[in-house]
Amino acid sequence: MIVDDFRSDTVTRPGESMRAAMAAADVGDAVYDDCPTTKRLEAKTAERLDKEAALFFPTGTQANLAGLMAHCGRGDEYLVGQMAHTYRLEGGGAAVLGSIQPQPLPNEPDGTIALDAIANAIKPKDFHFAVTRLLALENTFNGLVLPDAYLEAATQLARSRGLATHLDGARLMNAAAASNRDAAWIAGQFDTVSLCLSKGLGAPIGSILVGPKDFIEKARRIRKMLGGGMRQTGVIAAAAIHALEHNVARLGEDHRRAADLAKVLARFPALGAGPARTNMVFMTPKALDTSAFAAFLRDRGIAVSGRYGTLRWVTHLDLDDASVERVGTACENFFDSKQ
């Protein structure tokens, strides 16, 4: 039985007050655009991020894909980080379903893409090349907050070359909390933004795409094509509204707890743990079987995710200080068993 689940901030479960909001939700048919709670969520998010309109999606992958498809036509191109979620971890949907050519560019250690790399990747107006339409960035990036000055410079460069800009802001609220910025300021650097409501904010499902009104209407048609037209979404929209009203201000607590976790893991040098990145801690052990370590933890009720020898710990509202203490105890027991 998992007691402390550090795999992701998507594993949270609705608390009593969120469940009560869901049970009391006023619902309608969202495909007919007459679900009052869903419309309230969309209006609330658009206002919060200072955009004209918003559209509710079942997943962040679909919200990003609809955004890319609304910006780019068949055979167009978007610039994206080599390690970005929209390129690497969303099933290649932009290419497979949108016929959009991704132009992946190297991500720097801080998650940015070098401005020179962006400028050099924009294709000349020549029928031999795909038409570069869009720059897509991600914030946070593996827990790292992109610097304010970089956001301004990168989006200004894109605009100066006639490109639109999209932000995969799955953890936008984490970025805002960590940088002491209003989320609307970050969103304001981009034409369109996706915001995940089930990562860190505690809603059980859903993402929002925000942008200009005409863009959102175009995305609405694309959402239908992608199978994202839902019916009585007020039930889950109510959970999302509750998340925005109650779980944004507390994100700093997750960041503080991640910092505490990083200190605990640093007591064991063989784990190769790095510093906290908002609500994430990454570790790349040296001369240590990460699978065996993760299995040892799981036997003690602690779950952590891993890929290619690196483990990622993510803090969230279902974890507390005792969770971090139990990790420390489990690590001590693991290394004691190796002596």
Give per-residue pLDDT as tens, 162-217.
Answer: 999 999 999 999 999 999 999 999 999 999 999 999 999 999 999 999 999 999 99
Check pLDDT > 80 for residue 62.
Answer: yes
Helices H / strands E in the chain, number of each: 14, 12
Cα–Cα distance between 232 and 148 in angstroms, integer? Answer: 39
Residue 140, preceding peptide bond in cis (omega within 30° of 0)? yes
- CB count, 10 Å around CB of 288? 18
> Are 166 and 134 spatial neighbours (Cβ–Cβ below 8 Å)?
yes
Q: Which residues neighbour 164 within 8 Å (Cβ) at sequence distance 6 or greater?
A: 71, 133, 134, 135, 158, 191, 192
Predicted local distance difference test score (pLDDT) of residue 87 = 97
Which position has the token pair 């304001």? 188
Give per-residue pLDDT as tens, 224-264.
Answer: 999 999 999 999 999 999 999 999 999 999 999 999 999 99
Q: Read off the pTM.
A: 0.96
Cα–Cα distance between 231 and 238 in angstroms, integer? Answer: 14
Domains of the chain, first to last = 16-246 (3.40.640.10), 250-337 (3.90.1150.10)
Check pLDDT > 90 for residue 308.
Answer: no
